[in-house]
Amino acid sequence: MPNRRPLGLALALVLLSSCGEAQEAAPVAPLGPAGLAASRFPAPVRPVAPVVSDRWEAEDARERVGEAERVLGWLGVAPGQSVADIGAGSGYYTVRLAQRVGPGGRVLAQDVVPRYLARLRERVAGLPNVLVGLGEPGDPRLPAASTDVAILVHMYHEIEQPYALLANLVPALRPGARVGIVDVDDATPRHGTPRALLACELAAVGYREVAFHWLLERAPRSEYLAVFEAPAAPPVPESVRPCTP
């Protein structure tokens, strides 16, 4: 698919400039305008896991099981596409996406933790097809019609306002876009999201599950990739009904 850059993205190019110490780095700007106010959406009726690290597991361990290769293959990520890495953290997927989409593609790497983004910005400084931006707990702050594939890896259970974030993601998605969520089939306090709960929460915002893959089955915590298609438009916030665990 050809790379189509919406107007207003030039500002985001400054996000790849050099920075000082991670804790003192200059602020990172959002990639796109604000969406619907998160306060208009219901809060999730289940615990939200705390953000404790920008890494899920050591990268060499993830490579040994072929995690990224399998996930990106199942999602059909291809050269020339624009992919949003939501909750990019340390950049495990960001750098691999940059290689996979190639010079004609683009990676929008987003997170809500500024210190994670400062370290990520240093890591991707030599990758011209990566843009780094600051999101909000209920809004990824991505440009409109910018994304062919969005991935959320081992962070859905940490989203404070999932219904708002999912609704505000819709305008960023191009027709036929896919949203892939990687998580563990476990309770949110244990840094997972039960498969049925995930499907319910996305359905509440109008998403439809189109594929499901077990990524790594190991008792008692099995990892999965769930793939969704978004609704044509975001729902009216007041119409969203939260799911119960």
Q: What is the pLDDT of residues 234-245, one digit of tens each?
A: 999 999 999 987
Cβ distance 13 to 125 under 8 Å? no
CA angle 114, 146, 93 (to 5 degrees): 50
Q: Tell me: domain 63-101+132-171+182-235, CATH 2.60.40.10, correct?
A: no
Q: What would the mean pLDDT of 58-87 be, rounded to a whole number? A: 89
User: Is residue 16 scored above 50 in pLDDT?
Assistant: no
pLDDT score of 10 more than 60? no
Express each pLDDT in 202-213 by its tens digit.
Answer: 999 999 999 999
- pTM for the whole structure: 0.85
Predicted confidence band at 15 (pLDDT cuts at 50, 70, 90)?
very low
* Consecutive H or E run containing 227: strand 223-229
Q: Which comes out higher in pLDDT, residue 1 or 173? A: 173
The type of residue at 108 is L
Is pLDDT of 29 > 80? yes
Do 170 and 231 contact (CB within 8 A), yes or no?
yes
Q: What is the DSSP letter of 162?
A: H
Q: What is the mean pLDDT of the chain?
A: 87
Comparing CA positions, the residue from 216, 147, 121, 205 lying closest to residue 3 is 147
Distance CA 166, CA 46 (A): 17
Q: Residue 53 — very low, low, confident or very high, per pLDDT cuts 50/70/90?
A: low
Whether 157 contacts 183, CB under 8 Å = yes
Residue ranges covered by each domain of the chain: 63-101+132-171+182-235
In this predicted structure, the answer to whether residue 216 has a pLDDT above a threshold of 50 is yes
| DSSP H/E element including 165 | helix 162-169
Tell me 173's DSSP state. Answer: E
